[in-house]
Structure 1
Amino acid sequence: MMNIKVAPPYAEDKVLEIIDAFGHSGKTYWKKRNTIKVFEVGNDKWNVKSFQVPHLINRFAYKYVRKSKARRSFEHAEILLGKGILTPKPIGYVEYSQPIGLTNSFYISQNLSYDFDFGDVIDKEFPDRENILNQFTEFTYQLHENDIHHFDHSKGNTLMNKKSSGQYDFYLIDLNRMKFEEMTYEKRIDNFNRLSLTADMIEIVGKKYASLIGQDEAKVIDDIKKSCEKFKEFARRKGRWKKRIGL
């Protein structure tokens, strides 16, 4: 069984043609749990993300209980654009399933040509670094003000393009783990902890975010620092646990 949703003006038959060719065509951009390939479609380039086949329980859940990652990615992209938040233009999603549950699923979007991502800015010598960090903090503030809780707000999931006059565009990607809810102070602070912020980055980001939310600068900086340290310790414990059980 197949379920497909395609945004106009794109055609279902062209989307299915690309999905059918996914296994033997396209340029591989990423291949770990999920696989991302780029396809040339006329004068366009499409980014196609194939999600890993879920384990048995999630196969059932993604078909009968909650939306698949592919569908959530597509729907979240449409919501983001509706709120004025940039993300690569969504084209569609395709789901394949059996009576027992979901098998394969794909999310298709316009491929974005970008200059760098947030991970590049960790380098202290990166050009215009402080300005970029301040604008990125404003971008994160806009997410929070629009009740957007991106659980994968990490260093590789914001792509950036430089504009004129020292301005930058920020594009959010990896959209399936997202919730639209009121962002409390605690949720806002914790939303910085996956970004691999260095000590000097925490100072810059914390100072800017404090000015945006009208909070004490020292408190915000300290709270972000504590949240980052807590997440790092959690990640270390998780890594040790996975190593013990051979994952």
Structure 2
Amino acid sequence: MRSEIFVSSTLSRKQFQNILELFHESNRKLGDDRNEIKIVEFENRRLVVKSFKVPNIVNQIAYRFFRKSKAERSYLNAIYLKNNGIGTPEPVAYLEQRRAVGFYKSYYVSEYASHDFTFRELIHDDSIENKIEILESFTQFVYRMHEAQIYFLDNSPGNTLISINESGYKFYLVDLNRMKFYDIPVEDRLKNFERLSPQKWMYEIMGDKYAELAGLDEDQTIQTMWHHAEKFRQYFQNKKRLKKKFKKFI
């Protein structure tokens, strides 16, 4: 027997159950994620539903009794971002399914944010124009986030949506369950860019702009950002090699 916890600012429980039915019927998947993400159309609204996979037994206990679930954190973090003027798709609801002695599944629902491309496409798509201008605007966005004491642990290229409009560029953060909130020192701020790109020229643009905004030395800022990016890339490559070796023995 499972119990449920449901929280929403705009939906009734019945509406949420209808959305879940649409989710299970939908084949409109987003991304290639270990969790399942789909787009659904509901009452003239385009929504994104993220179904988090059932956690391992240790995390089932942790999420049941000691920690907020990924869905709850996504919802609360989205509200915090919105309240601090940081772009993210509008949070709609979350649901947790619990067992008597452990956690089972959770779902997070947000509005679909219309966008032109992601940061990942900015790296790889040569047809995108004004990349320097976009990077400078994105750096301002991250600086505002840091000033609001928000450290986005999953600040990776697939987790920033970019929209072009008449007034410039808008950025929306997704995959929100891993964040920290504290007075962020300079070293941590610059480290927060480490996952974004393998291309040094992008760090030269972002580092130069961040130094201007934060009153830092330009060369040192770029060097520090790039050092963290190279270190992260080496760690990631080593991790992939270890996984590959491990699979040979399974």
Please state which band the TM-score falls in when normalised by the shorter chain: over 0.9
1:16, distance to aligned residue in structure 2 (A): 1.7
1:113, distance to aligned residue in structure 2 (A): 1.5
Matched, 1:98 2:99: yes
1:139, distance to aligned residue in structure 2 (A): 0.4
Q: Distance in 2 between matches of 1:26 and 1:11?
A: 24
Q: How does 1:189-208 map to 2 (within 5 A)?
A: 189-208=190-209
Letter in structure 2 aligned against 1:5: V
Tell me what 2:111 maps to.
110
Conservation of the 8 A alpha-carbon contact between 1:137 and 1:209: yes
Q: Distance in 1 between matches of 2:246 and 2:63?
A: 27
Q: Distance in 2 between matches of 1:71 and 1:32?
A: 19
SS of structure 1 residue aligned to 2:25: coil
Tell me what 2:128 maps to.
126
Q: How does 1:25-64 map to 2 (within 5 A)?
A: 25=26, 27-64=28-65
Gaps of 5+ in 1: none
Matched, 1:3 2:1: no
Letter in structure 1 aligned against 2:154: D
1:125, distance to aligned residue in structure 2 (A): 4.9
Matched, 1:162 2:158: no
Conservation of the 8 A alpha-carbon contact between 2:74 and 2:177: yes
Q: Distance in 2 between matches of 1:32 and 1:162?
A: 26
Tell me what 2:140 maps to.
138
Identity of aligned residues (%): 39
- Quick check: 20-29 or 66-75, which moved more? 20-29
Matched, 1:211 2:218: no
Q: Distance in 2 between matches of 1:129 and 1:21?
A: 38
1:129, distance to aligned residue in structure 2 (A): 0.6
Q: Distance in 2 between matches of 1:151 and 1:176?
A: 9
Letter in structure 2 aligned against 1:139: F
Gaps of 5+ in 2: none
Query: Normalising by the residue count of structure 2, what TM-score does the alignment of the two structures yield?
Result: 0.94
Distance 1:12 1:32, change over 3 A: same
1:194, distance to aligned residue in structure 2 (A): 0.5
Letter in structure 2 aligned against 1:131: E
Q: Distance in 2 between matches of 1:16 and 1:26?
A: 18
Tell me what 2:15 maps to.
14
